[in-house]
C-alpha cells in the first residue's frame, strides 16, 4: 500500500502514521473497524467475529496495510486476521503446553534451564499473532505491567546465583513504559551474577515505528554503562521485510544492539524450504542473525498452523551446507509439558565403529573419518575448572545425561522425576 492508499483508509498525516502511539491508538480491534476500512464479505466478517470473540484481535494500521485482503493465502493476513479454524478444539492442545506457569518459582518468571530465566514483564502486544503460543495470556488486560510481580522476579534472580542470562518477554517488553523498562534492565545489571539481558520483541515486524531514536539511545546508553541488551525479534516471512522494518533494524544495528530472529514454522505461511531460505537471507542482509526456527506448539487455537516435524527437517536439509552457516537457524521443538527446546536436525552421522565414523554431507557424499589410535581423551593437563574451590559444591552436580557420562556416578538410568529445573509446584 502506498501512502495515498493509506491516507484514503486512515485519513492521517504522515507524522501520525509514523508515530507509534498513533499506531497503537488506531489499532484495529473490532470486526466493524475491519469492515469499515477494507472490503470484506459479510460471511467472512461473521467468521472473523466468531473467532475474535474467543481470541481477541488487534492489528496495527501499519501491519494491516501489508495485508492483501483479496488473497486468503497472504502470509500477513493469516498471521493477523482471526479464522474459524481457531475454534476447532483438539484435546491434545493445551493452554500452557510449555508449562511456563508450572515451571515458575514466582509468578511471571520461568526457570527451566540452569543458567537463564524468562521474565514476563507485560501481557500487552501491539499485534495479536494468530499463531501465538501464549494465546491464553496475550490481550488479557488484568496484568499489563505488574510492578510488584516484576520486583519478585528480580528478587528471585538476586537470590539465585546461577542465573547469568535474563530474557525479558511477554507480551512485548518494548511496549511498556520505557523508563520502567530502563529501570528493570538497570536493576538486573546491578545483580553481580547477571551477565546478559535479552529482550524478545515483535516491534520491528508489526510496529517498526516503535523503534524510536529515544529507545535506541536508551539501549546504547544501557549497553555502555551497564551491559549488553540483545534483541530477538520474530519475522516469519519476507513480506514483513519492508522499508520501515529495515529502517528499524538498521537503527538498532547501528547502535550496536546484537539482533537475532525467531521464526515459527507455520502451515501455508512459510512451510517451504525456499520461503525460509529467502527470509533468512533477507535477515542477514539486515544484520539480523537467524536464531531459532520453532516447530509450532500445541497451544489451543493454533492447530491449523501446525506442520509435521518432517517439514522442519526438510527445511533444515535445504539450509545446512546449502547456505552460509550464519544464515541457518537452529530448528527446535519446545517439548510439551515443559521439557524445554529440543534441537532436531537431519542426521549426518550414518554409522560408526571404534576405528571409523561414517558421515554424509549436504550433497549426499558419504565419507569416512578415521578415528585416532589413542581413543582416550581426558582433561587437558593443569585445568582445574571443575574442582575450583570457588565453585560451590552444588554447582558441580551433574545435570541430565551428564549423570550417565560421569565417572563418579554409578547411575544406569534416568527418571523424569529427576529433572533439575521446573516442577516448582510439586
Ligand X SMILES: *Cc1c(COP(=O)(O)O)cnc(C)c1O
Name, in order, each residue with C-beta under 8 angstroms of 58's C-beta and a sequence gap of 6 or more: 27, 28, 29, 125, 126, 127, 128, 139
What's the DSSP call for residue 299?
B
CB of 99 to ligand SF4, least distance (A): 17
CB 332: neighbour CB atoms within 10 A?
Answer: 19
Residue 20, CB half-sphere, CA atoms under 13 Å: how many?
Answer: 22
Supply φ then ψ for residue 148, to 5 degrees.
Answer: -60, -45
State yes or no: is 202 an active-site residue. Answer: no
Residue matched to cell numbers 504522515: 14
CB of 117 to ligand X, least distance (A): 6
State yes or no: is 297 an active-site residue. Answer: yes
On whether the CB atoms of residues 302 and 296 are closer than 8 A, the answer is: yes
110 binds ligand X (CB under 6 A): yes
300 binds ligand X (CB under 6 A): no
State yes or no: is 134 an active-site residue. Answer: yes
> Where do contacts with ligand SF4 occur on this chain (CB under 6 A)?
125, 128-129, 132, 134, 138, 171-172, 202
CB of 388 to ligand SF4, least distance (A): 40
Residue whose CB is less far from ligand X, 49 or 164? 164
Residue whose CB is less far from ligand SF4, 169 or 282? 169
CB of 261 to ligand SF4, least distance (A): 13
Which of ligand SF4, ligand X, none does 74 bind, CB closer than 5 to 8 A by kind? Answer: none
Residue matched to cell numbers 530474557: 167
Rounded CA-CA distance 426/12 in Å is 54
125 is in an annotated binding site: yes
42-47, Cβ contacts within 8 angstroms, sequence gap of 24 or more: 47/82, 47/83, 47/84
On whether the CB atoms of residues 71 and 65 are closer than 8 A, the answer is: no
Residue whose CB is less far from ligand X, 47 or 131? 131
Active-site hit among 49, 50, 102, 116: 116
Residue whose CB is less far from ligand X, 1 or 335? 335
Residue whose CB is less far from ligand SF4, 138 or 199? 138
Rounded CA-CA distance 360/337 in Å is 34
Which of ligand SF4, ligand X, none does 138 bind, CB closer than 5 to 8 A by kind? Answer: ligand SF4
CB of 329 to ligand X, least distance (A): 12
Beta bridge partners of 128: none
Which of ligand X, ligand SF4, none does 129 bind, CB closer than 5 to 8 A by kind? Answer: ligand SF4
CB 204: neighbour CB atoms within 10 A?
Answer: 28
Active-site hit among 62, 63, 124, 125: 125
383 is in an annotated binding site: no
Rounded CA-CA distance 91/113 in Å is 28
Which of ligand X, ligand SF4, none does 128 bind, CB closer than 5 to 8 A by kind? Answer: ligand SF4
Which of ligand SF4, ligand X, none does 44 bind, CB closer than 5 to 8 A by kind? Answer: none
Cell of 129: 499473532
Binding residues: 125, 129, 132
Q: Which residues bind ligand X (CB under 6 A)?
A: 110, 112-113, 116, 118, 167, 341
Amino acid at each position: 500500500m502506498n501512502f495515498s492508499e493509506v491516507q484514503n483508509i486512515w485519513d492521517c498525516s504522515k507524522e501520525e502514521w509514523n508515530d507509534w502511539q498513533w499506531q497503537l491508538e488506531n489499532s484495529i480491534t473490532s470486526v466493524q473497524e475491519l469492515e469499515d476500512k477494507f472490503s470484506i464479505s459479510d460471511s467472512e466478517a461473521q467468521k472473523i467475529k466468531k473467532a475474535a470473540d474467543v481470541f481477541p484481535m488487534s492489528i496495527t494500521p501499519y501491519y494491516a496495510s501489508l495485508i492483501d485482503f483479496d488473497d486468503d493465502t497472504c502470509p500477513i493476513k493469516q498471521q493477523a486476521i482471526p479464522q474459524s479454524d481457531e475454534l476447532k478444539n483438539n484435546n491434545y492442545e493445551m493452554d500452557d503446553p510449555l508449562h511456563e506457569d508450572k515451571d515458575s518459582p514466582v509468578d511471571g518468571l520461568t526457570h527451566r534451564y540452569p543458567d537463564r530465566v524468562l521474565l514476563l514483564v507485560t501481557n500487552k502486544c501491539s499485534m495479536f499473532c494468530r499463531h501465538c503460543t501464549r494465546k491464553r495470556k496475550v490481550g488479557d488486560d488484568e496484568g499489563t505491567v505488574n510492578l510488584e510481580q516484576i520486583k519478585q522476579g528480580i528478587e528471585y534472580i538476586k537470590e539465585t546465583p546461577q542465573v547469568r542470562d535474563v530474557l525479558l518477554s511477554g507480551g512485548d517488553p518494548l511496549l511498556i513504559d520505557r523508563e520502567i523498562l530502563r529501570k528493570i534492565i538497570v536493576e538486573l545489571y546491578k545483580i553481580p551474577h547477571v551477565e546478559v539481558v535479552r529482550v524478545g520483541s515483535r516491534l520491528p515486524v508489526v510496529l517498526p515505528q516503535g523503534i524510536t531514536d529515544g529507545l535506541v539511545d536508551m539501549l546504547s546508553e544501557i549497553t555502555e554503562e551497564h551491559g549488553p541488551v540483545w534483541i530477538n525479534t520474530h519475522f516469519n516471512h519476507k513480506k514483513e521485510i519492508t522499508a520501515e522494518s529495515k529502517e528499524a533494524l538498521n537503527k538498532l544495528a547501528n547502535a550496536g544492539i546484537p539482533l537475532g530472529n525467531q521464526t515459527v514454522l507455520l502451515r501455508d505461511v512459510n512451510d517451504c524450504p525456499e520461503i525460509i531460505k529467502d527470509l533468512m537471507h533477507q535477515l542477514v542482509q539486515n544484520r539480523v542473525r537467524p536464531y531459532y526456527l520453532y516447530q509450532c506448539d500445541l497451544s489451543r487455537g493454533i492447530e491449523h498452523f501446525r506442520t509435521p516435524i518432517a517439514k522442519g527437517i526438510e527445511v533444515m536439509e535445504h539450509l545446512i551446507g546449502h547456505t552460509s552457516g550464519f544464515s541457518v537457524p537452529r530448528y527446535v521443538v519446545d517439548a510439551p509439558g515443559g521439557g524445554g527446546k529440543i534441537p532436531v536436525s537431519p542426521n549426518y552421522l550414518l554409522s560408526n565403529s571404534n576405528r571409523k565414523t561414517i558421515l554424509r554431507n549436504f550433497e549426499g557424499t558419504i565419507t569416512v573419518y578415521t578415528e585416532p589410535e589413542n581413543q582416550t581423551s581426558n582433561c587437558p593437563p593443569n585445568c582445574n575448572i571443575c574442582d575450583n574451590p570457588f565453585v560451590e559444591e552444588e554447582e558441580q552436580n551433574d545435570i541430565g545425561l551428564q549423570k550417565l557420562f560421569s565417572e563418579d556416578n554409578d547411575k544406569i538410568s534416568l527418571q523424569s522425576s529427576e529433572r533439575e529445573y521446573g516442577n516448582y509446584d510439586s
